[in-house]
Amino acid sequence: MIAENLKKILSGLPPEVKLVAVSKYHPLDDIKEAYAAGQRLFGENRPQELEKKVKELAESGECPDIQWNFLGHLQTNKLKQVLPYASLVQSIDTIHLLQEVDKWGKKNDKVINVLLELHIGAEETKQGFHEEEILELLFGASKYANIRFCGLMGMASHTDDMETVHADFERIKSFMDYLTDLFPELVDFKELSIGMSGDYETAIDCGSTMVRIGTAIFGERSY
């Protein structure tokens, strides 16, 4: 089932769009199944779960070239459960977190790849930066010697109204274009991580370079 789902999704993705298989709340066996089907890039949103999965796979020696992205809210006291393992942290949502990740990088002699999470859509509670905060932050990007700014991550409004979703994604895309024009020195700033199970096709129409898909690969999560 997982292999079939992956195949179906991949057949609809342009070759340059990366697929993050979001495996949060799903057991290791599901990850192994996706790996066996060729998937290498996985996403998790809870530090403890990520670390546990990484360690179990390392112990058994399975899935040797698996890659992890972190895409959940990250508390600064959990960095050591995430930063040694994640090739990309997609969910940087405060200056404080960014500063702490930079510090961790310095201490561990590592440059951390990050996406800045953009707050978009209607929900007041949704985490992420506002556009002007991202602008200000990137004007000071050189302060963060151990951070590599790789782009933006965003979620559309939580709605079935695809016109609203489309408008949200268009807005993220045009902000992304604005930033890449304004900061040509940030040569790695090119990923636009938009699109989930319910809206990834729309996201691709709007210029997504990376989709994060869980349910459509692994089925419903049981929390």
Ligand X SMILES: *Cc1c(COP(=O)(O)O)cnc(C)c1O
47 φ, ψ to 5°? Answer: -55, -45
DSSP, collapsed to helix, strand or coil, labels residue 165 as: helix
Nearest residue to ligand X, using CB? 214
- Among 71, 88, 101, 115, which residue interacts with ligand X (rule: CB under 6 A)? 71
Which residue stretch of 52-60, 164-172, 176-184, 194-202 sits at the interface with ligand X (rule: CB under 6 A)? 194-202
* Comparison of 28 and 216: residue with beta carbon closer to ligand X: 216
Smallest distance from the beta carbon of 138 to ligand X, in angstroms?
21
Smallest distance from the beta carbon of 42 to ligand X, in angstroms?
11
Residues 37-56 close enough to bind ligand X by CB under 6 A: 45
CB 62 within 8 A of CB 46: no
Residue from 201, 140, 191 nearest 166 by CA? 201
Which residue stretch of 73-81, 104-112, 169-177, 193-201 sits at the interface with ligand X (rule: CB under 6 A)? 193-201
Q: Does 22 bind ligand X (CB under 6 A)?
A: yes
* CA dist., res. 19 & res. 145, Å (int): 28
Position 29: which residue type?
Answer: D
- Among 24, 26, 53, 173, which residue interacts with ligand X (rule: CB under 6 A)? 24
CB 218 within 8 A of CB 23: yes
* CA dist., res. 90 & res. 151, Å (int): 9
As beta bridge partners, residue 21 has 42, 213
Which residue stretch of 77-85, 126-134, 180-188, 209-217 sits at the interface with ligand X (rule: CB under 6 A)? 209-217
* Comparison of 107 and 158: residue with beta carbon closer to ligand X: 158
Smallest distance from the beta carbon of 109 to ligand X, in angstroms?
29
Q: Is 47 exposed, middle or buried (0-12, 13-18, 19+ CB in 10 A)?
A: buried
- Among 47, 121, 151, 214, which residue interacts with ligand X (rule: CB under 6 A)? 214
Q: Does 197 bind ligand X (CB under 6 A)?
A: yes
Q: Does 196 bind ligand X (CB under 6 A)?
A: yes
Residue 140 neighbours by CB distance under 10 Å: 9
* Comparison of 109 and 129: residue with beta carbon closer to ligand X: 129
> Which secondary-structure segment (H or E) carries 216?
helix 215-218
Q: Contact positions toward ligand X, by CB under 6 A? A: 22, 24, 45, 71-72, 196-198, 212-216
